[in-house]
Amino acid sequence: MHDESRRIEERVQRLHDQRIKTAIHAATVPFEVEAWQAPGEPVPFEEAAAASYEPFAMGTPWGPPWGTTWFRMRGQVPKEWAGRRVEAVIDLGFVGDWPGNQAEALVHLTDGTPLKAVNPLNQYVPIANPATGGETIDYLVEAASNPDILADNFSKVTPLGDKLTAGDKPLYTFRSADIAILDEEVWHLDLDVQVLRELMLELGEHDPRRHEIAHALDRAMDLLDLDDVSGSAPAVREALKPVLSRPAHASAHTISGVGHAHIDSAWLWPIRETKRKTSRTFSNVTSLADEYDDFIFACSQAQQYEWVRDNYPKVWARIQESVKKGQWAPVGGMWVEADGNLPGGEAVARQFIHGKRFFIENFGIETKGVWLPDSFGYNAAYPQLAKLAGNEWFLTQKISWNQTNRFPHHTFWWEGIDGTRIFTHFPPVDTYNARFSGAEMSRAVRNYQEKGGASRSLAPFGWGDGGGGPTREIMERARRLADLEGSAKVVVEHPDEFFAKAREEYPDAPVWVGELYLELHRATYTSQARTKQGNRRSEHLLREAELWATTAALHAPGYTYPHEKLDRLWKTVLLHQFHDILPGSSIAWVHREAEAEYARVARELQALTAEAVAALGADGTRVFNTSPYDRAEVVRTADGAPVYVEVPASGSAPLADAEPPQPVTVSGRVLDNGLVRVEVAEDGTLSSVRDLRANREVLADQGNLLRLHTDLPNYWDAWDIDKHYKNRYTDLLDASSVTVVEQDRLVGAIRVERAFGKGSTITQTITVRAGSPRIDIETDIDWHETEKILKAAFPVDIRAPHSSAEIQFGHIQRPTHTNTSWEAARFEVSGHRWVHIGEPGYGVAVINDSTYGHDVSRTVREDGGTTTTVRLSLVRAPRIPDPEADQGRHRFTYALLPGASIEDAVAEGYALNLPLRVADAAGAPAPVVSTEGEGVTVEAVKLADDASGDVVVRLYESRGGRAHGVLRTGFPLAGAQITDLLERPLHQARVDGDGGVPVALRPFQILTLRLRRG
């Protein structure tokens, strides 16, 4: 037989694209269209319905950036269409091949009922099936003209990312708005041909099935009447039935499909637009559920449900009905799909608490899994936190984006830093927007790394980010692929069902220990520094407000714990931990609003804390310590005078000037407090840091060396930092002034001022205080660079085999060598409040109050000694998607802590991030709780969420070893329970004869105690 593959393939493609697809809508009549441009921000339906509309012609430009245009569409179904399937088909002028991040619309009836959205790949709205003929149609369509921010493949800087700079030129040209007949036979033929053609092209050249499909398609095309596609479609479909009905191989891979619509809670659009995107997509989903009984849709992010509940009650009611029918599956159990690295430990716990509680309260459903397909790496505390929240499985897909190494598993047990394991799956289809194309089906099978051990994977399907979610075409593809020779088998089912089957099939799956590090998007630890600082400050202000509100509730008669305010503020912070807000990868509008929200949150929390402290009385001035560690340090009075005070953990003490161990001396550019001696060079770097307790020099070279690198990644500017950034740099060694600015027995400080680049300036104040070996570097940057990154380096005379970086509820060790490609790929990593390096007998920590990105490297000097260098990433200057990212003023502090153990790093990390508070208060209420025993660290103190008055304490083992201790209370204790994160009892805790609660913790174990007051 001659090889006619090319002829057949080209013939099928042309007939499909130019004849079959164009005949899907057999007849059309246009709507009469009128338009009204809403002024400014979106308006309620009632306002739009009452507006005055003007005639609008097809082919007319419409839609300024971020605008809202309302269209009134009127029409009538022709009487001769009786008995046919009729729908509206609307093309707003969609552009490009990305169904999200552009124009989209929500179609309403004139009474305000939302019907369905219109999206680039989902342009229809059902009218009647079958039509009676003569139906009158009257729609109000809310159309959003959102700009395509990443047009031109991320290559162009654009002002469109903020309504303040986007201009008002129309972005789209309205193409058509019609009432149409859907020719179902032609539509099904279109899908038959698509599925078979795509399968054929994925099969091998020597696979008989490929040629069987090709010749079947060729013969079927002979039956297609080009002058009557509709009339000949049934015969063509009949000819294809045999080749479509051949069953899959018994050993075929099984793909569990679940409908999905990944909607970023903000990204290339502001939060206000996400609220509308969710309503549009969820309208589509509930409409599709009415058409397909076998459809199941998985949806995460409780925040998005709440937006729909509060703003679109009719859509919310349809969601509730779909949940009852089992077609809508709440998943994830988190408030938002948060970033996986940057939120603090307690914040991740609250993501689960608020998310799971929302689904329980609103649907009576407790979600079983963590659904995070798109976050940029995952911290190693997740398995424990997920299990403590009642989860059984974890899903992501993003690790498939690794730049260097291919992750070795798709189904595995993920083990966290404490030893907890959770069953985990990475969909080998490598997308969370699948459509069951032939290429996707083939890729899923080819990629799957568990062959021989397991035989199933999961595929989330549907268009995300405003693309409208799953479509009827994808559902039809799934039906055709349910049992088709040459392909994997598709079954649409709930994620819980997939995970149950996968775990039963593969209980001895391999184990991955530690963080899931994404070898990409490493700059998300640094971009948009003010957003990150707002998050860090908010997390610590929330801790402070909860602790002192609890103290006041226990000791101040008449004081009422502010449950509702704290709940609302927590949810605001949790929202902004979404994986495109906190990482700094959103448009300017998003970050402008985030900074404003963080400022508002800070004001409210400061007021709540002040109110709680004031409730304790006002007979004297006291110092309040929110840290879980005792403090002996210098604090400032209201007039700025330094005072040395000693304050117990989570408690308070009078503002009385205690005598420090040794006063501070300042001589020239040398600061000395008897613990450390710091010499500042003429160029403003640290020329020497001597640990006087250990009698050793800490630095191997210039300390606090500021290095400005060129920073232009290959792609994804705000997201990525590529290794070649290290090759081009300028050291900032020209100091315009080095000046002693404070010389007191308690404080010595030297200020260094620099100017560089395109008008940027840095002022740093290097401070040594009495009684502390910590050297603070308070930094004020006025930043005007572009495509640069600024790093601060501390080259330390230590041979450290690994660095330790704080993560949620513990720390993680990373090698300082690069023996393997896995280690070399971690050239930029994340950490929270501190990074520690050490050799037996000695360590040094670098502590910060708002930065997350850093790198640690080592080299051997000519004298044989080893230099281990810790560098903090301070600020970047990407231009896409926000051309002004990080421009302007930044203020933050980082510090060097010589002679530090891990426990010292933990304590000083808390201290730097939780400054002592000076306020008027009466009496000396005992700390709500205190701990005895090294390594037992209290992370949160609050009243129980159920308003019972019980006290909830969350603590953890912080050193990485076993811990035995006792928790004592500052109030009469009637009983104690160990609970899960949602404060539900797991079992009783023992209370000893002295009223203490003994605790025994494994390394990094998290323990939540619910304490009943006597």
CA distance 905 to 935: 12
Contact between 159 and 587 under an 8 Å Cβ cutoff? The reply is no
Q: Which helix (H) or strand (E) holds 255?
A: strand 254-259
Report the 10 Å Cβ neighbour count for 821. 10
Report in angstroms the alpha-carbon separations of 652 from 459, 557, 616. Answer: 54, 19, 11
Residues counted in the chain:
1014
The catalytic residue among 178, 190, 192, 374 is 374
Tokens of residue 295, six digits: 């459809």
Q: Tell me the CB-side half-sphere exposure of residue 748, using CA atoms within 13 A.
A: 26
CA distance 684 to 705: 9
Would you give the end-to-end CA distance of the chain in angstroms? 91
Instruction: Report the C-alpha dihedral over residues 829, 832, 835, 840, rounded to 10 degrees.
Output: -110
Q: Which of 584, 854, 831 is nearest to 719 (CA)?
A: 584
Q: Which of 35, 19, 40 is nearest to 74 (CA)?
A: 35
Would you call 806 exposed, middle or buried from its count of C-beta atoms within 10 A (0-12, 13-18, 19+)?
buried
CA 351 to chain centre: 11
Q: What angle is formed at CA 489 by the lines to CA 484 and CA 493, rounded to 5 degrees?
A: 135
3-class secondary structure, 46 = helix
Tokens of residue 664, six digits: 């501070």
Task: Give the bridge partners for 677, in sequence order.
Answer: 672, 690
Q: What DSSP letter does each residue of 456-476 carry, written as one string?
A: EEEEEESB-TTS-B--HHHHH
What strand order describes the sheet that includes 421-425? 369-371, 393-395, 421-425, 411-415, 511-513
CA distance 393 to 78: 53
Exposed e or buried b per residue across 904-940, where buried means at least 16 C-beta atoms within 10 angstroms of its C-beta: bbbbbbbbbbbbbbbbebeeebbbbbbbeeebbbbbb
For 945, residues 6+ apart whose C-beta sits below 8 A from its C-beta are 353, 357, 563, 567, 952, 983
Residue in the block written with tokens 């009698």:
695
Contact between 345 and 381 under an 8 Å Cβ cutoff? The reply is yes
Provide Rg for the chain, Cα atoms.
31
CA distance 858 to 685: 20
Q: What angle is formed at CA 220 by the lines to CA 214 and CA 224, rounded to 5 degrees?
A: 135
CA distance 995 to 971: 10
Tokens of residue 896, six digits: 């060097």
3-class secondary structure, 108 = strand
Q: What DSSP letter does each residue of 571-611 carry, written as one string?
A: HHHHHTTBTTTTTS-S-HHHHHHHHHHHHHHHHHHHHHHHH
Contact between 990 and 998 under an 8 Å Cβ cutoff? The reply is yes
Q: Which helix (H) or strand (E) holds 775?
A: strand 775-783
Would you call 956 exposed, middle or buried from its count of C-beta atoms within 10 A (0-12, 13-18, 19+)?
buried
Would you call 889 exposed, middle or buried from its count of C-beta atoms within 10 A (0-12, 13-18, 19+)?
exposed
Peptide bond into 130 cis (omega under 30): yes
183 is catalytic: no
User: Which are the catalytic amino acids?
Assistant: 374
